[in-house]
Amino acid sequence: MLQLQIECHRDDVEELSDFLEETGALSITFTDKYDDPILEPELGTTPLWSNVIIQALYEKQEDAEHASSAFNTQYPKFLTSLAAVPEEDWERVWMTQFTPLQFGRRLWIVPSWITPPDPNACNLILDPGLAFGTGTHPTTSLCLTWLDNAELVDKRVVDYGCGSGILALAAIKLGAKHVYAVDIDEQALMASRNNAEMNQVPSELISVCFPDELQLKTDLIMANILLTPLLSLKMRFYHVLEKEGMLVVSGILVDQTQELIEAYQDCFKHESTTTREEWALVTFKAI
Protein backbone atom coordinates (compact mmCIF):
# COMPACT_ATOMS: atom_id res chain seq x y z
CA MET A 1 0.00 0.00 0.00
CA LEU A 2 1.14 3.54 -0.80
CA GLN A 3 -0.34 6.81 0.38
CA LEU A 4 -0.33 10.07 -1.55
CA GLN A 5 -0.63 13.04 0.82
CA ILE A 6 -1.59 16.55 -0.26
CA GLU A 7 -1.80 19.78 1.75
CA CYS A 8 -4.48 22.19 0.58
CA HIS A 9 -7.14 24.74 1.55
CA ARG A 10 -10.67 23.49 2.19
CA ASP A 11 -11.94 25.31 -0.93
CA ASP A 12 -9.80 22.98 -3.06
CA VAL A 13 -10.81 19.71 -1.39
CA GLU A 14 -13.74 18.78 -3.62
CA GLU A 15 -11.88 19.32 -6.90
CA LEU A 16 -8.72 17.56 -5.72
CA SER A 17 -10.53 14.59 -4.22
CA ASP A 18 -12.53 14.15 -7.45
CA PHE A 19 -9.24 14.06 -9.37
CA LEU A 20 -7.75 11.49 -6.99
CA GLU A 21 -10.84 9.33 -7.23
CA GLU A 22 -10.43 9.27 -11.01
CA THR A 23 -6.85 8.00 -10.57
CA GLY A 24 -8.16 4.88 -8.82
CA ALA A 25 -7.56 5.68 -5.15
CA LEU A 26 -8.89 2.94 -2.86
CA SER A 27 -9.84 5.49 -0.21
CA ILE A 28 -9.61 9.24 0.31
CA THR A 29 -9.56 10.75 3.79
CA PHE A 30 -9.36 14.30 5.14
CA THR A 31 -7.54 15.35 8.29
CA ASP A 32 -6.84 18.69 9.95
CA LYS A 33 -3.37 20.12 9.42
CA TYR A 34 -3.33 22.30 12.55
CA ASP A 35 -5.79 20.59 14.92
CA ASP A 36 -8.26 23.49 14.80
CA PRO A 37 -11.64 22.59 16.36
CA ILE A 38 -14.97 22.81 14.53
CA LEU A 39 -17.30 23.40 17.46
CA GLU A 40 -20.74 24.25 16.06
CA PRO A 41 -21.26 23.37 12.39
CA GLU A 42 -24.48 24.38 10.66
CA LEU A 43 -27.15 21.69 10.61
CA GLY A 44 -26.93 19.54 7.50
CA THR A 45 -23.38 20.57 6.58
CA THR A 46 -20.14 18.61 6.52
CA PRO A 47 -17.59 21.26 7.50
CA LEU A 48 -13.85 21.04 6.90
CA TRP A 49 -10.95 22.77 8.55
CA SER A 50 -9.32 25.74 6.83
CA ASN A 51 -6.13 23.76 6.21
CA VAL A 52 -6.68 20.17 5.14
CA ILE A 53 -4.47 17.17 4.49
CA ILE A 54 -5.88 14.80 1.86
CA GLN A 55 -4.65 11.21 2.01
CA ALA A 56 -5.27 8.91 -0.97
CA LEU A 57 -4.47 5.20 -0.64
CA TYR A 58 -3.32 2.97 -3.52
CA GLU A 59 -2.73 -0.77 -3.55
CA LYS A 60 -0.07 -0.92 -6.28
CA GLN A 61 3.12 1.11 -6.47
CA GLU A 62 2.70 1.86 -10.17
CA ASP A 63 -0.82 3.22 -9.57
CA ALA A 64 0.40 5.47 -6.77
CA GLU A 65 3.35 6.75 -8.77
CA HIS A 66 1.15 7.42 -11.80
CA ALA A 67 -1.37 9.27 -9.62
CA SER A 68 1.37 11.34 -7.98
CA SER A 69 2.89 12.28 -11.34
CA ALA A 70 -0.48 13.15 -12.85
CA PHE A 71 -1.47 15.20 -9.82
CA ASN A 72 1.77 17.19 -9.73
CA THR A 73 1.42 17.92 -13.44
CA GLN A 74 -2.18 19.06 -13.08
CA TYR A 75 -1.75 20.87 -9.74
CA PRO A 76 1.90 21.91 -9.36
CA LYS A 77 1.26 24.47 -6.59
CA PHE A 78 0.31 21.90 -3.93
CA LEU A 79 2.77 20.26 -1.56
CA THR A 80 2.60 16.46 -1.96
CA SER A 81 4.38 13.39 -0.63
CA LEU A 82 4.23 9.69 -1.45
CA ALA A 83 5.05 7.05 1.15
CA ALA A 84 4.61 3.34 1.74
CA VAL A 85 2.02 2.32 4.33
CA PRO A 86 3.07 -0.66 6.51
CA GLU A 87 0.99 -3.78 6.01
CA GLU A 88 -1.25 -4.23 9.04
CA ASP A 89 -4.24 -6.19 10.13
CA TRP A 90 -6.29 -3.00 10.10
CA GLU A 91 -9.31 -4.51 11.83
CA ARG A 92 -7.11 -5.76 14.67
CA VAL A 93 -5.30 -2.41 14.93
CA TRP A 94 -8.63 -0.56 15.01
CA MET A 95 -10.01 -2.83 17.70
CA THR A 96 -6.97 -2.37 19.96
CA GLN A 97 -7.65 1.38 20.06
CA PHE A 98 -10.77 0.80 22.17
CA THR A 99 -10.62 -0.55 25.71
CA PRO A 100 -13.18 -0.75 28.55
CA LEU A 101 -13.77 2.57 30.31
CA GLN A 102 -14.98 3.04 33.89
CA PHE A 103 -17.12 5.97 34.99
CA GLY A 104 -17.66 6.51 38.69
CA ARG A 105 -17.96 3.41 40.88
CA ARG A 106 -20.40 1.19 39.01
CA LEU A 107 -20.52 1.96 35.31
CA TRP A 108 -18.33 0.48 32.57
CA ILE A 109 -18.50 1.02 28.80
CA VAL A 110 -17.18 -2.15 27.17
CA PRO A 111 -16.61 -2.94 23.44
CA SER A 112 -18.50 -6.05 22.36
CA TRP A 113 -15.32 -8.02 21.59
CA ILE A 114 -13.89 -7.60 25.11
CA THR A 115 -14.90 -9.48 28.27
CA PRO A 116 -16.06 -6.98 30.93
CA PRO A 117 -13.34 -6.46 33.58
CA ASP A 118 -15.95 -6.62 36.33
CA PRO A 119 -18.89 -8.90 35.41
CA ASN A 120 -20.82 -7.67 38.47
CA ALA A 121 -20.63 -4.00 37.46
CA CYS A 122 -23.15 -2.07 35.36
CA ASN A 123 -21.66 -3.01 31.99
CA LEU A 124 -22.88 -1.18 28.91
CA ILE A 125 -21.79 -2.91 25.70
CA LEU A 126 -21.10 -0.30 23.05
CA ASP A 127 -19.04 -0.27 19.85
CA PRO A 128 -17.88 2.73 17.79
CA GLY A 129 -20.30 3.07 14.91
CA LEU A 130 -23.22 5.00 13.51
CA ALA A 131 -23.39 7.99 15.83
CA PHE A 132 -21.34 10.04 18.25
CA GLY A 133 -20.91 8.68 21.74
CA THR A 134 -18.67 5.94 23.10
CA GLY A 135 -17.61 7.66 26.32
CA THR A 136 -14.23 8.93 25.17
CA HIS A 137 -15.14 12.62 24.75
CA PRO A 138 -14.86 14.74 27.94
CA THR A 139 -18.51 15.84 27.79
CA THR A 140 -19.76 12.26 27.49
CA SER A 141 -17.45 11.24 30.31
CA LEU A 142 -18.80 14.05 32.50
CA CYS A 143 -22.38 12.93 31.84
CA LEU A 144 -21.67 9.26 32.53
CA THR A 145 -19.86 10.05 35.77
CA TRP A 146 -22.77 12.24 36.87
CA LEU A 147 -25.25 9.45 36.09
CA ASP A 148 -23.20 6.95 38.09
CA ASN A 149 -23.47 9.19 41.15
CA ALA A 150 -27.19 9.94 40.71
CA GLU A 151 -30.18 8.19 42.27
CA LEU A 152 -32.11 6.98 39.22
CA VAL A 153 -34.41 4.31 40.67
CA ASP A 154 -38.05 4.95 39.59
CA LYS A 155 -36.93 7.97 37.51
CA ARG A 156 -37.99 8.72 33.93
CA VAL A 157 -34.93 9.96 32.05
CA VAL A 158 -34.59 11.75 28.70
CA ASP A 159 -31.38 11.55 26.67
CA TYR A 160 -31.91 14.58 24.42
CA GLY A 161 -29.62 14.50 21.39
CA CYS A 162 -29.00 10.83 22.10
CA GLY A 163 -26.47 10.03 19.36
CA SER A 164 -25.56 6.41 20.12
CA GLY A 165 -28.04 6.28 23.01
CA ILE A 166 -25.17 5.97 25.46
CA LEU A 167 -26.70 8.14 28.20
CA ALA A 168 -30.16 6.59 27.93
CA LEU A 169 -28.73 3.08 28.09
CA ALA A 170 -26.41 3.97 30.96
CA ALA A 171 -29.42 5.34 32.87
CA ILE A 172 -31.29 2.04 32.38
CA LYS A 173 -28.26 0.07 33.57
CA LEU A 174 -28.13 2.30 36.65
CA GLY A 175 -31.75 1.73 37.62
CA ALA A 176 -33.95 4.23 35.75
CA LYS A 177 -37.62 3.29 35.41
CA HIS A 178 -37.89 4.33 31.75
CA VAL A 179 -35.65 6.20 29.32
CA TYR A 180 -36.38 8.25 26.22
CA ALA A 181 -33.66 8.44 23.55
CA VAL A 182 -34.48 11.58 21.56
CA ASP A 183 -32.78 12.97 18.47
CA ILE A 184 -33.53 14.86 15.25
CA ASP A 185 -31.31 12.46 13.26
CA GLU A 186 -32.77 9.15 12.08
CA GLN A 187 -29.27 7.64 12.06
CA ALA A 188 -28.91 8.42 15.77
CA LEU A 189 -32.27 6.80 16.50
CA MET A 190 -31.20 3.73 14.52
CA ALA A 191 -27.94 3.52 16.47
CA SER A 192 -29.82 3.85 19.77
CA ARG A 193 -32.21 1.04 18.83
CA ASN A 194 -29.35 -1.21 17.76
CA ASN A 195 -27.41 -0.53 20.95
CA ALA A 196 -30.48 -1.15 23.10
CA GLU A 197 -30.91 -4.51 21.37
CA MET A 198 -27.21 -5.34 21.85
CA ASN A 199 -27.63 -4.67 25.57
CA GLN A 200 -30.87 -6.70 25.75
CA VAL A 201 -32.86 -3.73 27.04
CA PRO A 202 -36.57 -4.65 27.08
CA SER A 203 -38.60 -2.52 24.67
CA GLU A 204 -40.97 -1.46 27.46
CA LEU A 205 -38.07 0.31 29.24
CA ILE A 206 -36.89 2.50 26.35
CA SER A 207 -38.62 4.81 23.87
CA VAL A 208 -36.63 6.00 20.84
CA CYS A 209 -38.22 9.01 19.19
CA PHE A 210 -38.00 12.39 17.49
CA PRO A 211 -38.39 15.49 19.73
CA ASP A 212 -42.00 16.18 18.70
CA GLU A 213 -43.00 12.70 19.87
CA LEU A 214 -41.93 13.44 23.45
CA GLN A 215 -45.21 14.55 25.01
CA LEU A 216 -45.02 13.66 28.71
CA LYS A 217 -43.43 14.85 31.94
CA THR A 218 -40.10 13.38 33.04
CA ASP A 219 -37.84 13.56 36.09
CA LEU A 220 -34.47 14.11 34.44
CA ILE A 221 -33.18 15.42 31.12
CA MET A 222 -29.61 14.77 30.00
CA ALA A 223 -28.58 16.96 27.05
CA ASN A 224 -25.04 16.57 25.76
CA ILE A 225 -25.35 19.06 22.91
CA LEU A 226 -23.83 22.38 21.87
CA LEU A 227 -24.62 25.85 23.18
CA THR A 228 -26.68 27.13 20.24
CA PRO A 229 -29.33 24.38 20.38
CA LEU A 230 -29.29 24.48 24.18
CA LEU A 231 -30.26 28.15 24.12
CA SER A 232 -33.17 27.45 21.78
CA LEU A 233 -34.42 24.41 23.73
CA LYS A 234 -34.93 26.06 27.13
CA MET A 235 -38.74 26.17 27.05
CA ARG A 236 -39.03 22.70 25.54
CA PHE A 237 -36.95 21.33 28.41
CA TYR A 238 -39.00 23.31 30.94
CA HIS A 239 -42.33 21.94 29.68
CA VAL A 240 -41.07 18.34 29.59
CA LEU A 241 -39.69 18.37 33.15
CA GLU A 242 -41.69 17.86 36.31
CA LYS A 243 -41.51 20.69 38.85
CA GLU A 244 -38.09 20.48 40.53
CA GLY A 245 -37.00 18.00 37.87
CA MET A 246 -33.29 17.94 37.03
CA LEU A 247 -31.70 19.19 33.82
CA VAL A 248 -28.09 18.18 33.17
CA VAL A 249 -26.38 19.73 30.16
CA SER A 250 -22.93 19.32 28.72
CA GLY A 251 -21.42 19.83 25.28
CA ILE A 252 -20.49 23.41 26.16
CA LEU A 253 -17.16 25.08 26.75
CA VAL A 254 -16.22 26.41 30.17
CA ASP A 255 -16.32 30.00 28.91
CA GLN A 256 -19.90 29.46 27.65
CA THR A 257 -21.36 28.42 31.00
CA GLN A 258 -22.25 31.88 32.26
CA GLU A 259 -24.18 32.69 29.10
CA LEU A 260 -26.18 29.48 29.49
CA ILE A 261 -26.87 30.03 33.20
CA GLU A 262 -28.11 33.57 32.58
CA ALA A 263 -30.30 32.45 29.67
CA TYR A 264 -31.93 29.73 31.80
CA GLN A 265 -32.32 31.62 35.09
CA ASP A 266 -36.01 32.52 34.63
CA CYS A 267 -37.01 28.84 34.44
CA PHE A 268 -34.19 26.92 36.11
CA LYS A 269 -32.13 27.25 39.25
CA HIS A 270 -28.42 26.67 38.68
CA GLU A 271 -27.25 23.84 40.93
CA SER A 272 -23.64 23.05 40.01
CA THR A 273 -20.92 23.23 37.38
CA THR A 274 -18.26 20.57 36.79
CA THR A 275 -15.42 20.93 34.30
CA ARG A 276 -13.01 18.64 32.48
CA GLU A 277 -10.35 20.09 30.22
CA GLU A 278 -12.09 22.99 28.41
CA TRP A 279 -15.58 21.44 28.67
CA ALA A 280 -18.31 21.87 31.28
CA LEU A 281 -21.31 20.03 32.71
CA VAL A 282 -24.00 22.24 34.26
CA THR A 283 -26.93 21.04 36.37
CA PHE A 284 -30.23 22.88 36.89
CA LYS A 285 -33.47 22.32 38.77
CA ALA A 286 -36.78 23.38 37.22
CA ILE A 287 -38.56 26.12 39.22
Residue 27 CB partners (closer than 8 Å, separation 6+): 56, 57
Interacting residues of 209 by C-beta distance below 8 A, sequence separation 6+: 180, 181, 182, 189
Q: Is 129 annotated as a binding residue?
A: no
CA count, 13 A, side-chain hemisphere, 26: 11
Q: Which residues, in sequence order, are bridge partners of residue 180?
A: 158, 207
Own/partner pairs, 98-104, CB within 8 angstroms, 24+ separation: 98/127, 98/128, 98/134, 101/135, 101/136, 101/141, 103/135, 103/141, 103/144, 103/145, 103/147, 103/148, 103/170, 104/144, 104/145, 104/147, 104/148, 104/149
- On whether 118 is known to bind a ligand per the annotation, the reply is no
d(CA 248, CA 224): 8
With CA atoms as reference, report the closest residue to 192 among 175, 214, 170: 170
The reply, when asked if residue 11 is annotated as ligand binding, is no
C-alpha span between 286 and 77 (Å, rounded): 58
Was 245 annotated as part of a binding site? no
Whole-angstrom distance, CA of residue 183 vs CA of residue 163: 7
Q: How far apart are CA 24 and CA 184, in angstroms?
A: 36
Strands (E) across 229-278 are located at 241-253, 268-276
Binding site, annotated residues: 140, 161, 183, 224
Binding site, annotated residues for S-adenosyl-L-methionine: 140, 161, 183, 224
